Amino acid sequence: MKKIISLLMIITFFTGLVYAEKIIMKDGKEYVGNIHHQDDNVIFVVQKEELIKLNRADVKEIVVVQDKDGKNKKKKGFFSR
């Protein structure tokens, strides 16, 4: 199990160099990382070395940041996968 988690973190690190998602919650909190999995009820986002479970009903919007400088932002639909 530790090997799988380590591999997931390594893959997430390298894909995080290309793009990341910013999840903006209805209460104003923001999470920046990569979406690991999402369905109709929850979104799992990897932020740094932490896997965070978010309730989809509490999500205001998801923004895709395509480079480090925050340029080329593209909004992602609320229910898109």
| Residue among 78, 76, 77 at smallest CA distance from 54 | 78
Contacts of 40-47 with CB under 8 Å at 24 or more apart are 40/79, 45/21, 46/8, 46/9, 46/12
Task: Please give the model's pTM, rounded to 2 decimal places.
Answer: 0.60
CA atoms of 31 and 52, how far apart (whole Å):
9
Task: Report the percentage of the chain scoring pLDDT > 90.
Answer: 46
Q: What integer best gives the mean pLDDT of the chain?
A: 79
Structure confidence at residue 16 (pLDDT): 46
Does 16 or 66 have the greater pLDDT score? 66
Asked if pLDDT for residue 61 goes beyond 90, the answer is: yes
User: Contact at 8 Å (CB) between 33 and 16?
Assistant: yes
CA atoms of 71 and 80, how far apart (whole Å):
21
